[in-house]
Copies of this chain bind each other. A is one copy, B any other.
Amino acid sequence: MKTGESTAIDIAPETNNSGPIGKKKSTTPLLAVPVPDRGTHRMKRGLAIFDFVLRIGALAAALAAAAAMGTSGQTLPFFTQFFQFEASYDDLPTFQFFVVAMGIVAGYVVLSIPFSIVCIVRPHAVGPRLLLLILDAVALTVNTAAAGAAAAVVSLAHSGNSSTNWLSICNQFGDFCQQTSGAVVGSFAAVLLFLLLILFSALSLKNRH
Protein backbone atom coordinates (compact mmCIF):
# COMPACT_ATOMS: atom_id res chain seq x y z
CA MET A 1 0.00 0.00 0.00
CA LYS A 2 3.05 2.25 0.45
CA THR A 3 4.01 1.72 -3.18
CA GLY A 4 1.97 3.47 -5.81
CA GLU A 5 2.01 6.80 -3.97
CA SER A 6 1.93 8.73 -7.24
CA THR A 7 -1.13 6.79 -8.38
CA ALA A 8 -2.91 7.72 -5.17
CA ILE A 9 -2.20 11.41 -5.80
CA ASP A 10 -3.38 11.07 -9.38
CA ILE A 11 -6.82 9.82 -8.42
CA ALA A 12 -7.23 12.18 -5.45
CA PRO A 13 -9.99 14.81 -5.82
CA GLU A 14 -7.53 17.74 -5.58
CA THR A 15 -5.41 16.62 -8.50
CA ASN A 16 -4.91 20.05 -10.04
CA ASN A 17 -2.62 21.34 -7.30
CA SER A 18 1.11 21.57 -7.77
CA GLY A 19 3.50 19.08 -6.14
CA PRO A 20 4.14 19.82 -2.46
CA ILE A 21 0.89 21.69 -1.79
CA GLY A 22 -1.04 18.92 -3.45
CA LYS A 23 0.77 16.39 -1.33
CA LYS A 24 0.04 18.35 1.83
CA LYS A 25 -3.62 18.69 0.92
CA SER A 26 -4.00 15.00 0.27
CA THR A 27 -2.25 13.88 3.43
CA THR A 28 -3.90 16.27 5.89
CA PRO A 29 -7.43 14.82 5.66
CA LEU A 30 -5.91 11.34 5.77
CA LEU A 31 -4.71 12.12 9.28
CA ALA A 32 -7.62 14.19 10.58
CA VAL A 33 -10.68 12.56 9.05
CA PRO A 34 -10.92 8.99 7.77
CA VAL A 35 -12.78 10.11 4.63
CA PRO A 36 -10.38 9.83 1.67
CA ASP A 37 -9.41 6.28 2.54
CA ARG A 38 -7.99 4.58 -0.52
CA GLY A 39 -10.24 1.51 -0.38
CA THR A 40 -13.36 3.62 0.09
CA HIS A 41 -12.24 5.85 -2.75
CA ARG A 42 -11.87 2.90 -5.11
CA MET A 43 -15.16 1.40 -3.98
CA LYS A 44 -16.99 4.67 -4.51
CA ARG A 45 -15.46 5.08 -7.94
CA GLY A 46 -16.55 1.54 -8.76
CA LEU A 47 -20.09 2.38 -7.60
CA ALA A 48 -20.04 5.55 -9.76
CA ILE A 49 -18.95 3.60 -12.86
CA PHE A 50 -21.62 1.01 -12.15
CA ASP A 51 -24.12 3.87 -11.81
CA PHE A 52 -23.11 5.13 -15.25
CA VAL A 53 -23.53 1.67 -16.82
CA LEU A 54 -26.93 1.17 -15.16
CA ARG A 55 -27.99 4.59 -16.41
CA ILE A 56 -27.16 3.63 -20.01
CA GLY A 57 -29.19 0.47 -19.49
CA ALA A 58 -32.14 2.43 -18.09
CA LEU A 59 -31.95 4.81 -21.07
CA ALA A 60 -32.02 1.88 -23.49
CA ALA A 61 -34.94 0.24 -21.68
CA ALA A 62 -36.97 3.47 -21.48
CA LEU A 63 -36.32 4.35 -25.13
CA ALA A 64 -37.17 0.82 -26.26
CA ALA A 65 -40.40 0.87 -24.24
CA ALA A 66 -41.43 4.28 -25.60
CA ALA A 67 -40.56 3.25 -29.17
CA ALA A 68 -42.32 -0.11 -28.95
CA MET A 69 -45.47 1.53 -27.62
CA GLY A 70 -45.25 4.52 -29.96
CA THR A 71 -45.00 2.39 -33.09
CA SER A 72 -47.66 -0.09 -32.01
CA GLY A 73 -50.67 -0.14 -34.23
CA GLN A 74 -52.46 -2.68 -36.33
CA THR A 75 -54.99 -2.42 -39.09
CA LEU A 76 -57.05 -5.48 -39.79
CA PRO A 77 -57.16 -6.61 -43.44
CA PHE A 78 -60.92 -6.20 -43.72
CA PHE A 79 -63.34 -3.32 -43.25
CA THR A 80 -67.04 -2.57 -43.36
CA GLN A 81 -68.80 0.25 -45.10
CA PHE A 82 -68.59 2.44 -42.01
CA PHE A 83 -65.20 1.91 -40.53
CA GLN A 84 -61.93 0.13 -40.74
CA PHE A 85 -60.83 -2.04 -37.84
CA GLU A 86 -57.73 -0.43 -36.49
CA ALA A 87 -55.96 -0.36 -33.15
CA SER A 88 -53.27 2.08 -32.21
CA TYR A 89 -51.73 3.34 -28.98
CA ASP A 90 -53.47 6.64 -29.78
CA ASP A 91 -56.84 5.06 -29.04
CA LEU A 92 -56.09 4.46 -25.38
CA PRO A 93 -55.23 7.44 -23.15
CA THR A 94 -53.23 5.14 -20.88
CA PHE A 95 -50.92 4.21 -23.73
CA GLN A 96 -50.55 7.85 -24.73
CA PHE A 97 -49.54 8.64 -21.15
CA PHE A 98 -47.13 5.72 -21.29
CA VAL A 99 -45.36 7.06 -24.38
CA VAL A 100 -45.11 10.58 -22.93
CA ALA A 101 -43.95 9.35 -19.51
CA MET A 102 -41.32 7.00 -20.90
CA GLY A 103 -40.11 9.78 -23.19
CA ILE A 104 -39.75 12.09 -20.20
CA VAL A 105 -37.88 9.39 -18.27
CA ALA A 106 -35.53 8.79 -21.21
CA GLY A 107 -34.93 12.53 -21.50
CA TYR A 108 -34.17 12.75 -17.79
CA VAL A 109 -31.69 9.88 -18.04
CA VAL A 110 -29.87 11.66 -20.89
CA LEU A 111 -29.69 14.86 -18.82
CA SER A 112 -28.47 12.92 -15.77
CA ILE A 113 -25.53 11.28 -17.54
CA PRO A 114 -23.22 14.34 -17.16
CA PHE A 115 -23.85 14.30 -13.40
CA SER A 116 -23.05 10.60 -13.34
CA ILE A 117 -19.74 11.36 -15.11
CA VAL A 118 -19.02 14.06 -12.53
CA CYS A 119 -19.53 11.40 -9.85
CA ILE A 120 -16.97 9.14 -11.59
CA VAL A 121 -14.40 11.94 -11.77
CA ARG A 122 -15.04 13.10 -8.17
CA PRO A 123 -16.30 10.05 -6.26
CA HIS A 124 -16.55 12.00 -2.98
CA ALA A 125 -18.76 14.79 -4.36
CA VAL A 126 -21.98 14.75 -2.34
CA GLY A 127 -24.06 17.35 -4.22
CA PRO A 128 -24.42 15.61 -7.60
CA ARG A 129 -24.90 12.24 -5.91
CA LEU A 130 -27.74 13.60 -3.76
CA LEU A 131 -29.33 15.37 -6.73
CA LEU A 132 -29.22 12.14 -8.75
CA LEU A 133 -30.72 10.16 -5.87
CA ILE A 134 -33.70 12.50 -5.45
CA LEU A 135 -34.37 12.94 -9.18
CA ASP A 136 -33.99 9.18 -9.70
CA ALA A 137 -36.74 8.66 -7.12
CA VAL A 138 -39.01 11.06 -9.03
CA ALA A 139 -38.20 9.37 -12.36
CA LEU A 140 -38.84 5.99 -10.74
CA THR A 141 -42.30 7.18 -9.71
CA VAL A 142 -43.20 8.45 -13.19
CA ASN A 143 -41.82 5.29 -14.77
CA THR A 144 -43.62 2.93 -12.39
CA ALA A 145 -46.94 4.74 -12.73
CA ALA A 146 -46.74 4.47 -16.52
CA ALA A 147 -45.67 0.83 -16.36
CA GLY A 148 -48.41 -0.12 -13.90
CA ALA A 149 -51.13 1.68 -15.82
CA ALA A 150 -50.09 0.18 -19.15
CA ALA A 151 -49.79 -3.26 -17.56
CA ALA A 152 -53.36 -3.00 -16.25
CA VAL A 153 -54.71 -2.07 -19.68
CA VAL A 154 -52.62 -4.71 -21.47
CA SER A 155 -53.89 -7.36 -19.07
CA LEU A 156 -57.46 -6.21 -19.79
CA ALA A 157 -56.75 -6.36 -23.52
CA HIS A 158 -55.41 -9.88 -23.13
CA SER A 159 -58.03 -11.46 -20.94
CA GLY A 160 -60.91 -9.00 -20.88
CA ASN A 161 -63.26 -8.85 -17.91
CA SER A 162 -66.60 -10.57 -17.80
CA SER A 163 -68.08 -8.56 -14.91
CA THR A 164 -67.72 -5.27 -16.71
CA ASN A 165 -68.35 -6.74 -20.17
CA TRP A 166 -64.97 -5.61 -21.45
CA LEU A 167 -64.03 -8.14 -24.09
CA SER A 168 -60.49 -9.16 -24.94
CA ILE A 169 -59.19 -7.48 -28.08
CA CYS A 170 -56.08 -9.61 -28.44
CA ASN A 171 -57.85 -12.20 -30.53
CA GLN A 172 -58.33 -9.60 -33.24
CA PHE A 173 -55.31 -7.41 -32.64
CA GLY A 174 -52.62 -9.97 -31.81
CA ASP A 175 -49.65 -7.96 -33.08
CA PHE A 176 -50.80 -4.84 -31.28
CA CYS A 177 -51.10 -6.75 -28.02
CA GLN A 178 -47.67 -8.32 -28.41
CA GLN A 179 -46.01 -5.01 -29.07
CA THR A 180 -47.66 -3.23 -26.14
CA SER A 181 -46.79 -6.18 -23.86
CA GLY A 182 -43.18 -5.84 -24.93
CA ALA A 183 -43.29 -2.14 -24.12
CA VAL A 184 -44.61 -2.91 -20.63
CA VAL A 185 -41.84 -5.43 -20.05
CA GLY A 186 -39.26 -2.84 -21.13
CA SER A 187 -40.66 -0.23 -18.77
CA PHE A 188 -40.56 -2.65 -15.83
CA ALA A 189 -36.93 -3.37 -16.71
CA ALA A 190 -36.31 0.38 -16.46
CA VAL A 191 -38.08 0.38 -13.06
CA LEU A 192 -35.70 -2.31 -11.78
CA LEU A 193 -32.69 -0.39 -13.07
CA PHE A 194 -33.89 2.78 -11.32
CA LEU A 195 -34.27 0.85 -8.06
CA LEU A 196 -30.68 -0.38 -8.42
CA LEU A 197 -29.55 3.18 -9.19
CA ILE A 198 -31.17 4.43 -5.98
CA LEU A 199 -29.62 1.55 -4.02
CA PHE A 200 -26.11 2.34 -5.25
CA SER A 201 -26.57 6.09 -4.76
CA ALA A 202 -27.59 5.46 -1.17
CA LEU A 203 -24.63 3.14 -0.58
CA SER A 204 -22.33 5.73 -2.10
CA LEU A 205 -23.72 8.42 0.22
CA LYS A 206 -23.32 6.12 3.21
CA ASN A 207 -19.69 5.25 2.71
CA ARG A 208 -18.35 8.74 3.07
CA HIS A 209 -16.76 7.71 6.36
Interface contact B133-A202, CB-CB below 8 Å: yes
Stretch of A10-18, A41-49, A52-60, A139-147 that contacts chain B: A139-147
Name A68-127 residues within 8 Å CB distance of B: 87, 91-94, 126
Assess the A151–B149 pair: CB atoms within 8 A: yes
Nearest-CB residue, chain B, relative to A137: B198
Which of these, B32, B151, B156, contacts A156 with CB under 8 Å? B156
Task: List 12 extra interface pairs beyond A91-B161, A94-B156, A164-B169, CB under 8 A.
Answer: A33-B33, A92-B163, A92-B164, A133-B198, A133-B202, A134-B199, A134-B202, A137-B199, A147-B148, A153-B153, A153-B156, A165-B167
**Chain A interface (Cβ < 8 Å from any Cβ of B):** 32-33, 87, 91-94, 126, 130, 133-134, 137-138, 140-141, 144-153, 155-157, 161, 163-167, 169, 191, 195, 198-199, 202-203, 205-206, 208-209
Q: How far is the CB of A52 from chain B (nearest CB, A)?
A: 20
Q: How many copies make up the complex?
A: 2
6 smallest CB-CB distances across A and B, nearest first, come from: A148-B148, A91-B163, A145-B148, A149-B152, A144-B144, A148-B149
Interface centre among A133, A151, A199, A203, by most B CB within 10 Å? A133
The CA of A144 and the CA of B194, in the complex, are separated in Å by 14
With beta carbons under 8 angstroms apart, the residue of B92, B144, B156, B161 that contacts A141 is: B144
What are the residues of chain B within 8 A of A91 when measuring CB–CB?
161, 163-164
Known interface pairs A149-B149, A152-B149; A161-B206 also in contact (CB < 8 Å): no
Q: How far is the CA of A208 from the CA of B207 in the complex (A)?
A: 11
